[in-house]
Chains A and B, each alone.
Chain A
Amino acid sequence: MVFLDFEKPLEVLYEQLEKIQQVGEQGEVDVSATIKELENKIKQTRKELYNDLSGWQRVQLSRHPERPYTLYYIEQMCRKFVELHGDRYFADDKAIVGGIGSLDGQSVVFVGHQKGVNTKMRQYRNFGMANPEGYRKALRLMKLAERFNFPVVCLVDTPGAFPGIEAEERGQAEAIARNMFEMAQLRVPIVVTVIGEGASGGAIGIGLGDSVYMMENTWYSVISPESCSSILWRSWDYKEQAAEQLKLTAEHMTDFGIVDGIIKEPLGGAHTAPDEAAKILKRHLKKEIAELQKMTPEERIERRLEKFGSIGQYDVLESEAEATAKAK
């Protein structure tokens, strides 16, 4: 088990539990009462720790090395899944995966960022940082979905689009922009869920949909707390403050009306009971898809435009407003 820094009290309790269990195995004393007590204490401590998490703690949880990723969720949720590769122009990006799966009989096109599960795979997946061909693969699959009237599910989990020489040469910016442009007019339902990190253009590049939810221990922001710290505080040391200032948690984002709601995770985070997290996610996706399928493509497109078109906060000066009205 991997413990985060704020989970120290839990780590201590788990160590105690392990010791007692070893004593118990030697069979000389009855430790069952002590074990029970410790287990209760763990439960209680977890509840307290997770009762009021800071922005930075959510960021830490979203990056937990044991957290489930896109392919895990797809495999848990779908009886059948065929992974599809390549953008048909340049390459197959490993940081964005996709394919067609069956959600209890409904064929769905999935696209999502994919992180690696161990050191070697993390490299292979480029830490979930996609190149332009990843976004173009995602778009190709969404267009495939449109052709055959399959709903699209996007699972967002990226620390950002990859900042590299080749990414720029092949048009990282154009690929992300093009996806939003096309997703805005896609005729099939698009259900977006942030399952981990939702950083910047890399996230919104597959993030424009009819329904946008965040899992409980995730974040969504224009920039990662670390980069924000380095630019605005001119030091890497202010990531906690940056996380607070950016108001990037699922709770904030729901309050702002930028996302539609929060998907609950098992207590302690999705990694503590990944199969349960997958069940919760599946229930959510099925419900959203069913709702959206009741609308016509035109209604969905109009709603999508309105949904994203209304995001923004500003003052309106009355006198100038009249001036504009006259100018028009």
Chain B
Amino acid sequence: MGWFKRLKDGIQTATQHKKEAPDGLWYKCKHCGETSTMKEMRENYLKCPKCNYHTRIGSHDYFDLIFDGKYTELFLELKSKDFLNFKDLKTYEDRLKSANKKTDLPDAISVAHGKVRKRPVVIAAMDFSYIGGSMGSVVGEKIARAIDFAEENRMPLLLISKSGGARMMESAFSLMQMAKTSARLARMAKAGVPYFSMMTDPTTGGVTASFAMLGDLNFAEPEALIGFAGPRVIKETIKKDLPEGFQTSEFLLEHGFLDFIVDRADIKEKIGDILLLFSNAEANA
């Protein structure tokens, strides 16, 4: 049971997926520098109460926030492995081990189905805490299976991206997950099952350049970093400073790549509205 749920029910239990800071602990906002207590943060959807900065939260936080109560997780059986024996300063195997230990997550994405305002939906949400939310074979396969599941059951799919891009340690296999997920989404689109893509901070690289940009609706949390190339790479390439607000959600909205921006406090209501509006959607191919 996650913190949103506890907030509603007023109960205190340890969550399965991370060690949470006690209420009395102080949080210093990396955006505005102000401090708040963890209790204040939790009561504000883990956004900074002073400047509304949306901190990075995990897949299960989103599940708790969006689903009506309980949900069922899918595809927990898929686990990454170091099949290329990739070694840089560390081995990939060690990176996987320490990510498993640090996060208790299956990989950089979790998939679940449940209901939102009584309507069924599949939600796939990424975890930045797991190797930077990077997409390797498991992330690609879980998305592919989430699409299959949504299509078979004719449930809309919401995919919440939070990723640095493709996972280098799986080389071309990671790259090909872009093609794999995009191809699968094209099939689902033809079948007339709605796909909603929500981008959160950060969404970059191969994730942005595949499923994240392919929603029937694309939207984002405020002030998230969203782009193809990382800002550092762009700066080094063009040898110029980047404009204020470059690659933020607001920048993307302005340039026509997002349908809207949604505050974390309003996500559930917004998803509920969208599901209602799409509830009589049908294939017209």
Contact = CB atoms under 8 A, between A and B. Distances in A.
A258 B177 CA distance: 11
Interface string A236-262: 001001100111100001001010000
A221 B84 CA distance: 13
A204 interface: yes
Given A163-B229, A184-B182, A245-B87, A327 B72 contact: yes
Interface stretch (A2-10, A23-31, A277-285, A314-322): A314-322
B78 A314 contact: yes
Contacts of B173: 256, 258, 311-313
A204 B76 contact: no
Nearest to A232: B88
A200 interface: yes
Contacts of A315: 78-81
A253 B79 contact: no
B176 to A, nearest CB: 4
A231 B168 contact: yes
Chain B interface: which size bin?
35 or more
Of listed A174, A256, A320, A327, residue having the most chain B CB within 10 A: A174
Interface string B30-73: 00000000000000000000000000000000000000000011
B25 interface: no
A312 B234 contact: no
Contacts of A313: 81, 83, 137, 170, 173
Contacts of B10: none
Given A169-B255, A177-B182, A328 B149 contact: yes
Interface in B243-275: 243, 246-247, 251, 255-257
Nearest to A184: B183
B171 A167 contact: no
A305 interface: yes
B136 to A, nearest CB: 8
A200 B175 contact: yes
Contacts of B76: 317, 320, 323-324
B186 interface: yes
Contacts of B234: 163-165, 168
B186 A181 contact: yes
A167 B176 CA distance: 22
Contacts of A323: 76-77
Contacts of A200: 166, 175, 206
Residue from the set A221, A247, A248, A313 with the largest chain B CB neighbour count within 10 Å: A313
A180 B210 CA distance: 8
Given A200-B206, A232-B88, A232-B168, A181 B237 contact: no
A182 B186 contact: yes
B211 interface: yes
B80 A180 contact: no
Interface of B: 72-81, 83-84, 86-89, 137-138, 140-141, 144, 149, 166-168, 170-180, 182-187, 189-190, 205-206, 208-214, 227-230, 233-234, 237-238, 240, 242-243, 246-247, 251, 255-257
8 contacts: A171-B255, A177-B210, A184-B186, A311-B179, A313-B83, A315-B79, A319-B77, A324-B75
